Structure formats: C-alpha cells, structure tokens
DNA sequence: TTCCAGACGTTTTTT
DNA sequence: ACGTCTGGAA
C-alpha cells in the first residue's frame, strides 16, 4: 500500500484516488496543489501505468522542474511494481534516474506546452512542410528532424519589423504601431484563435484604421518565417494543433497518453485547450488543476473561460474543490477572501486555514518611495533579528522596476537579496549574439540570425545585410558562402564581410554538433574584440559566455541546445551576481514580481507600491476585465504569505514620473476593499521622510516636512485623528 | 548607407 | 531614467 497516504488530507486523497474520466480540481491558494499532482502521478505509476503513457503539462519550466524533482523524491521512498519502471533488482525499489533525463523512461513526459510541442514537432515538422536546405543541412546522427529554428520574441519582433517596413509608408496617417505592438497583436490573435480584427477591436481600437496593413504584415511575417524555416512560440502551439489534425499522428499520441494532467489550467489559452482536447480524445483521462482566482496571464491570451467552462466542455467531469489552506494564517486569508469577493466571474471558494490565529496584516503608508524602501529594509532587519530566516522573507511588486529604490536601500542596510526577473540569461544581447552564430550554422535559412550576425560588422547595416541574406538563398554549399559578400557589397561593407568570413571559417573548423566548441570559435574571434571595445562590463559579458559554454557542454546535439536556449529551459543561472553579495548562510531575501511569485510561499511577505496608478496599473485598467485581473494578482500576492504580511505604498508620487507607471498618489483601491477591522492600520503612525506622527497625543497639531518639488521643504499641518491616506488629505 | 547625437516615449506580466 | 527612434551629417 502507498506509504505517503499519511501526508494527505481527505480532500487531497479523494482527488488522487479518483477513477478514470475527465476531472477538474479547483485548488485554492496554498491547498497543496503541486503535491496533489505529483502524488497522483506517483499513484498512477504505482498502479502500473507506464511513464510514457502519462503526460504532465505545466505552465512554466520552473514548475515542470519542481514537479519532476518532487516526483523523484517521492518515488525514491516508495515501492513501485516492476511494470512501471526499473526496479532495483535486490530491493524492488524504484530507482529514479537523473531529473530531466526523460530518455530514461522512468519519468512521465513533463514540460510546458511549448516544450511538449517542440519535442513532437522536432520529429514531425517535415509533415507540415518545414525543412532545411537539404544541400547544406546534415545532422550527425542519422539526421532526423527538420532543423527548424525556434524564434524567441526578440527574433520574431525583428522579423516583423522587417515586414512592416513596406507597409508603414503606405499608411497616410503618420502613426503606425511599433514592431512590438504588431507582434503582440499578431501573437494574441493566434493564441486566442481569433482574427486580427477581433483583437484590434478588443484591445487596440486605436489601430483599427490600419487593420488591413496589419493583416498584410501578419501574412508576410508568416511567409518570412516559413522561408526562414523558423517557428516562433505561437507556431509551436499552432503547428502542434495542426499536426494533431492529421489522423495518424493524432491516433499515435491520443492513444499513447492514457493519462493527461494539466497544471495551472486557468492560465491556458484557447489553442492550448484545443490541444489538450485532442490529446485526451481517445482515453478521456484528463485531470486539470487550477484556481480561477489566480488567473493572471490574460495578456498572453490565457482565457479563464477554459476553467470556468470545463464542466461544459467535458459534461461527465468530476469536480473537486480543495479549500483547505495549509499556508497562511486565517487573518491573511480573510484579507484575500474579502478582496477577491469583489470579482464577479468566479467559482466561489472559501479558504479555510489550518494555521493557528496570527497577526493581522499591517498597512504602512509612507511619505514617498524612498520612505517606503527604508521602511521595508528596517522591517526586514527586525524580522531577521526575530529569527525569521532571510529566505523566508519576500518583497513582491507589480512591475519589475518598482524595486529599484528598494534595492539601493537593501544594499545600504547590508541585506542580501536575490532578485527574480530582470533580463533573463538567454535574452542578454551578447548571449543572443553568440547563439545567432550557431543558429546560422544549424539552420542556414535563419534570416533573423543572419541579420543579427551581419549587422555586427562595421559598414554593414540593414541594407547590406538584407542583400547578403537575399543572395544566400541561392547558395548551396558552405564554401560558396564566402564569396557571396564580394558579389553584392560595395567597397566599404566588404571589409566587414571579410571579417565575418573569418569567424565563419573558424566555426567550420569545429564539429557541427559540438555547441561548446562552436562557442569557443565565436569567443575566440573578433566578436571578443567587439565586446571589449564597446562595453564597460565586457568582463561580465564574457563571464556569461563562459557560463553558456558550460551549459552547452551538456548537449551532444546543436539542435537540442539551441531549442532549449530559445525556450529558456533547464538553465537557472544565479541571476545578476553583482546585485547580491555573499553571506555565509547563503540565505537570501527574495525580490520578485508577483507573476513570478506564483506558486511560492514565504513566512513574511511585503507588497510594495500599493498605490493607485501603480497597482492596479493604469495600463491594465484600460483593458477589458483589467480590474478583475489586477485583483486576482493582488490575491496571488497576499496568499503567498504564511505569517506576516505588510502592505505599503508611497503617499506622494516619485518626482518627474507622475504620469507614467508610477503611482499618482493615494492608496490602491484594493486597500479600500479590505475591511478596516482586518488590518493593523498604521496610516496615522507612519514614519517616513520627515514624517513623524503619533496619534496618541490627540489634540496636538503635528508638523511634517513636504519633500515634494525637491527643493525647499515646507511644513505641512495635519490634525491628529484625521484619516491620512494620501498627502492630498493634508 | 551608416553612424551619431539628441529627441522621444516608455514599461506589466512569460513561453 | 533608460533604451529606442529620428533626422541629419559623413
């Protein structure tokens, strides 16, 4: 019998034991959802289901890794019959292989939608007409696969920019959406399975006038991608779905995946739901887990309707609710419950805490952003002194740049922190540069990569690079590449071209499958000189490239390496090491956007910048259902906290940036949705920049300094007992 | 055509 | 405050 039963409560156990057929699990925040999924998989394996017959889809790579890790741990301590894996001969215990090594067959397929799509498309893309220049493309080991490139959003944006050039001029009005906007319009349309017109109407009404042009650009972009033998993130999903429209392919995979589990179902979009429906069509053993209250990815076309309508899509679905919360005190949950109750479209859930009574969440307005940062730093020191470990403390914020002030303050206070977010490793310019060199070798038709590589050379700009790319289309062997530039370029650009040829030749001197060796060739070339000449931080950049090389060593196939780099996979570098300093314990306070904090928990959580304009962000409010989504975001933030929750906001907007992103003064409307009895409200007891109030001495008039306008600070007066929410109240 | 300097507007979130 | 874009000079 299963030994791990004792870890579970009844709610959870019922889900794990549920029989076959479609099933929806509404898992409230902190209800142990990850545990339920991993235990369910373990349970299936124990029943004798083979790993390759189980598909586990997660939303992020991080989540996939986490699940695999937990599964390995779980399985290591559990007796699994021979049918499902490789039992150790002597003990009969299942011996897990390395995490992520799914060739072992011991772990089920687990990954993001994009990852699973890539894995299958790698094999079947030729069916959809993707293929590399056969004269140039040779893979080492038998050459399966079509050698397509995966474009990340940067690449796709620059390709779109190329397409848009021709249409911009035609538009009579001077205004035209930027490549970035074009990309998000095109992408949103594909992910939501709607037309460009629909998207414009819904999200970008101001661009409806150029709808026809945008449509043409989208068509041209589609062709360009095809020509470049490339797929962007959306193509991975769309093509995967198309592939499943092929009877034979569908049969193979629908039969293979006897059990399908989808995590974070509330964050799936239309295409993803369609894919799942196809894959589950044969066996119908589909378990989706999610919390509609935590749907925070609508900007990626995530559609809450998927989870809200699950029972309609799968009429015989069983529905379970997990409402026991293991994480937070009742005081914290009450705040979360009360705020989320303002949302109309949702499943009603009442989170029940298992924790003993605790502290009320505290509200601490501060004079301005620096006061807020100072306050947080001081409180963190206090918490640490009271034996809350550093890694049990997190500061969460709406947008990445909200943390700037705080970072300075933490550094001053000597608090070590770990920043989640910022420019991700594979998105750093120099990393992308080097990858581009490898990409042109792997997929000769990869226009985006060629442009990137060529434009680094002196004298070669967009025009010259474009000419070369055009000419390369007629080239059929690697030797002829060298003479292309001579034919189409003018005097000035040629020197740059010869320089490129030198790099190209040194790459050809390496084995084509050896990513690490190829990176060597690039780092050893004039690219290094370029880095050293152009950037003060060239040392850091070269260090990054060394890291990239170490990472590359794990791969025996160039194709696999490049794909995983594009999909941001299996590579967690300690982000921005210069932003942290070493301390002996290695424990660090976490700074994170709320989005990235999903699924995590800390003993103490600060939520910054809860001011109107910043959170909910003005921008989001302009969208349909924007307010409800922001509210869910707030809900996610609050439910990360186990014991201590601090809410702060600056009463004055920062200098000079009132009109943008930052706060425009006054508290977030979400704070107003919390009953005052639920909060430990310090609105009258704030101590920030020059602001010292004490409401115990009622009857006195307090003086405080107004630091707005930078210069001469003048005293402000406030009557004791008045409700000070923002400086405008003064 | 490229390159540079100054103007501009800009920021939510992720695969 | 920063990165991207535009317009003009080389």
* Strand B closer than 7 A to residue A97 Cβ: no
Rounded Cα distance between A7 and A247, Å, is: 43
| Rg of the Cα atoms in chain A | 28
Interatomic distance A320 CA / B9 C1' (Å): 48
* Strand B closer than 7 A to residue A389 Cβ: no
What pLDDT does residue A663 have? 52
What pLDDT does residue A528 have? 86
The torsion angle over the Cα atoms of residues A725, A727, A729 and A730, rounded to 10 degrees, is 130
Distances, alpha carbon A396 to alpha carbons A32, A393, A453, A464, A686, in Å: 21, 10, 38, 46, 21
* Strand B closer than 7 A to residue A464 Cβ: yes
Interatomic distance A560 CA / C2 C1' (Å): 35
Is A135:A472 a contact under the CB 8 Å cutoff? no
Q: What is the pTM of this model?
A: 0.82
Nucleotide lying nearest to A176, CA to C1' measure: C5
* Strand B closer than 7 A to residue A493 Cβ: yes
Can you read off the two tokens belonging to residue A547?
A: 């890291």
Residues 6+ apart with CB under 8 A from A175: none
- Going by the DSSP 8-state scheme, the letter that residue A654 receives in this structure is P
Three-class DSSP category at A680 = strand
* Strand B closer than 7 A to residue A627 Cβ: no
* Strand B closer than 7 A to residue A593 Cβ: yes
Nucleotide lying nearest to A236, CA to C1' measure: B15
In chain C, which nucleotides are within 7 Å of a protein Cβ? 1, 4-5
> Tell me: the pLDDT tens digits for A185-239?
898 899 888 898 888 888 887 788 788 888 888 898 999 888 888 999 999 999 9
* Strand B closer than 7 A to residue A660 Cβ: yes
* Strand B closer than 7 A to residue A617 Cβ: yes
Nucleotide lying nearest to A111, CA to C1' measure: B15
Rounded Cα distance between A208 and A166, Å, is: 19
What pLDDT does residue A419 have? 78
Is A160:A182 a contact under the CB 8 Å cutoff? yes
Three-class DSSP category at A691 = strand
**Burial label, A144 (beta-carbon count in 10 A; 0-12, 13-18, 19+):** exposed
Interatomic distance A371 CA / B8 C1' (Å): 31
Residue nearest to nucleotide C5 (CA to C1'): A178
Question: Can you say how many angstroms the Cα of residue A22 is from the centroid of all Cα atoms in its chain?
Answer: 28
Can you read off the two tokens belonging to residue A386?
A: 């009271």
Nucleotide lying nearest to A489, CA to C1' measure: B1
Interatomic distance A532 CA / B3 C1' (Å): 20
Task: Write down the number of H helices and E strands in chain A.
Answer: 29, 21
Interatomic distance A576 CA / C2 C1' (Å): 18
> Tell me: the pLDDT tens digits for A551-571?
888 888 888 888 888 887 655
Distances, alpha carbon A348 to alpha carbons A338, A341, A355, A459, in Å: 12, 8, 22, 63
Task: Select from A346, A319, A409, A388 the least CA-distant residue to A24.
Answer: A319
Residues with CB under 7 A from strand C: A 178-179, 656-657
Interatomic distance A430 CA / C9 C1' (Å): 30
Residues 6+ apart with CB under 8 A from A649: A365, A366, A372, A608, A609, A610, A611, A614, A663, A667, A668, A671
* Strand B closer than 7 A to residue A531 Cβ: no
Interatomic distance A700 CA / B12 C1' (Å): 43
Three-class DSSP category at A230 = strand
* Strand B closer than 7 A to residue A587 Cβ: no
Interatomic distance A533 CA / B4 C1' (Å): 17
Which residues in chain A show pLDDT less than 50? Answer: 1-2, 79-104, 138-144, 170-172, 572-584, 655-662, 686-730
Interatomic distance A280 CA / C1 C1' (Å): 50
Interatomic distance A64 CA / C9 C1' (Å): 54
**Burial label, A291 (beta-carbon count in 10 A; 0-12, 13-18, 19+):** buried
Can you read off the two tokens belonging to residue A167?
A: 């249409």
In chain B, which nucleotides are within 7 Å of a protein Cβ? 1-3, 10-15
Helix (H) / strand (E) containing A264: none
Nucleotide lying nearest to A401, CA to C1' measure: B11
What pLDDT does residue A421 have? 64
Interatomic distance A437 CA / C4 C1' (Å): 24
> Tell me: the pLDDT tens digits for A643-683?
999 998 887 655 434 334 445 557 888 988 988 889 888 87
* Strand B closer than 7 A to residue A206 Cβ: no
Q: Which of residues 301-360 of A touch strand B (CB under 7 A)?
A: none
What pLDDT does residue A688 have? 43
Helix (H) / strand (E) containing A105: none
Nucleotide lying nearest to A656, CA to C1' measure: C1
Nucleotide lying nearest to A174, CA to C1' measure: C6
Q: How many CA atoms lie within 13 A of A602 on its CB side?
A: 30
Interatomic distance A661 CA / B7 C1' (Å): 21
Interatomic distance A526 CA / C9 C1' (Å): 29
* Strand B closer than 7 A to residue A286 Cβ: no
Nucleotide lying nearest to A232, CA to C1' measure: B15
What pLDDT does residue A3 have? 52
Interatomic distance A494 CA / B3 C1' (Å): 17
Rounded Cα distance between A376 and A483, Å, is: 61
């Amino acid at each position: 019998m299963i030994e791990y039963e004792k870890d579970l409560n009844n709610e959870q156990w019922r889900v794990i034991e549920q029989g076959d057929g479609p099933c929806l699990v509404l898992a409230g925040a902190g209800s142990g959802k990850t545990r339920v999924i991993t235990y369910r998989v373990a349970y299936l394996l124990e029943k004798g289901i083979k790993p390759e017959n189980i598909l586990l889809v997660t939303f992020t790579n991080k989540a996939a890794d986490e699940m695999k890790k937990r599964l390995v741990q779980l399985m290591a301590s559990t007796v699994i019959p021979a049918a499902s894996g490789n039992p150790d001969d002597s003990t009969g215990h299942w011996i897990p292989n390395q995490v992520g090594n799914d060739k072992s067959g011991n772990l089920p397929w687990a990954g993001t939608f994009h990852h699973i799509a890539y894995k299958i498309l790698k094999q079947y893309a030729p069916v959809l007409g993707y293929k590399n220049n056969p004269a140039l493309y040779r893979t080492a080991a038998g050459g399966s696969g079509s050698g397509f490139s995966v474009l990340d959003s940067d690449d796709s944006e620059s390709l779109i920019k190329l397409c848009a050039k021709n249409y911009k001029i035609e538009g009579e009005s001077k205004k035209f959406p930027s490549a970035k906007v074009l990309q998000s319009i095109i992408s949103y349309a594909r992910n939501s399975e709607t037309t460009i017109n629909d998207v414009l109407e819904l999200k970008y009404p101001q661009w409806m006038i150029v709808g026809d042009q945008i449509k043409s650009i989208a068509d041209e972009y589609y062709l360009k991608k095809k020509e470049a033998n490339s797929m962007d993130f959306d193509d991975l999903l769309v093509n995967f779905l198309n592939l499943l429209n092929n009877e034979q392919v569908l049969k193979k995979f629908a039969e293979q995946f006897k059990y399908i589990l989808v995590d974070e179902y509330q964050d799936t979009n239309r295409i993803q739901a369609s894919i799942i429906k196809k894959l589950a069509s044969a066996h119908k053993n589909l378990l989706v887990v999610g919390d509609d209250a935590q749907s925070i990815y609508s900007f990626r076309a995530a559609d809450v309707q998927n989870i809200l309508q699950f029972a309609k899509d799968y009429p015989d679905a069983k529905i379970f609710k997990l409402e026991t919360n293991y994480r937070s005190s009742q005081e914290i949950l009450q705040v979360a419950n009360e705020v989320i109750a303002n949302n109309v479209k949702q499943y009603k859930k009442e989170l029940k805490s298992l924790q003993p009574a605790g502290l009320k969440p505290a509200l601490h307005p501060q004079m301005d952003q620096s006061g807020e940062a100072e306050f947080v730093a001081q409180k963190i020191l206090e918490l640490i002194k009271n034996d809350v470990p550093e890694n049990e403390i997190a500061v969460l914020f709406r947008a990445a740049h909200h943390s700037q002030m705080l970072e300075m303050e933490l550094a001053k206070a000597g608090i070590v922190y770990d920043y989640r977010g910022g420019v991700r490793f594979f998105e750093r310019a120099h990393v992308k540069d080097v990858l581009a060199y490898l990409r042109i070798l792997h997929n000769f038709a990869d226009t985006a990569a060629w442009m990137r590589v060529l434009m680094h050379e002196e004298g070669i700009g967009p025009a010259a690079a474009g000419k070369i790319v055009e000419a390369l289309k007629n080239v059929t062997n690697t030797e002829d590449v060298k003479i292309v530039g001579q034919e189409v370029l003018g005097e000035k650009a040629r020197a740059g071209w010869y320089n490129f040829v030198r790099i190209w030749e040194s790459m050809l001197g390496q084995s084509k499958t050896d990513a690490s060796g190829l990176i060597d060739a690039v780092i050893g070339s004039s690219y290094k000189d370029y880095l050293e000449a152009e950037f003060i931080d060239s040392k850091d950049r070269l260090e990054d490239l060394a890291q990239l090389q170490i990472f590359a060593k794990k791969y025996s196939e160039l194709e696999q390496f490049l794909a995983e780099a594009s999909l941001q996979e299996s590579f967690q570098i300690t982000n921005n090491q210069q932003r942290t300093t070493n301390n002996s314990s290695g424990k660090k306070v976490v700074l994170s956007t709320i989005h990235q904090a999903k699924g995590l928990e800390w003993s103490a959580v600060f939520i910054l910048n809860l001011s109107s304009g910043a959170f909910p962000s003005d921008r989001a409010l302009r969208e349909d259902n924007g307010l409800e989504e922001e509210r869910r975001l707030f809900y996610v933030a609050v439910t990360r906290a186990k014991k201590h929750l601090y809410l702060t906001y600056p009463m004055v907007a920062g200098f000079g940036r009132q009109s943008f992103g930052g706060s425009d003064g006054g508290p977030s409307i979400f704070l107003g949705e919390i009953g005052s009895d639920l909060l430990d409200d310090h609105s009258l007891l704030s101590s920030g920049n020059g602001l010292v109030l004490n409401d115990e001495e009622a009857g006195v008039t307090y003086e405080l300094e107004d630091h707005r306008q930078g210069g001469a600070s003048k005293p402000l007066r406030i009557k004791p007992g008045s409700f000070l929410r923002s400086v405008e109240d003064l």
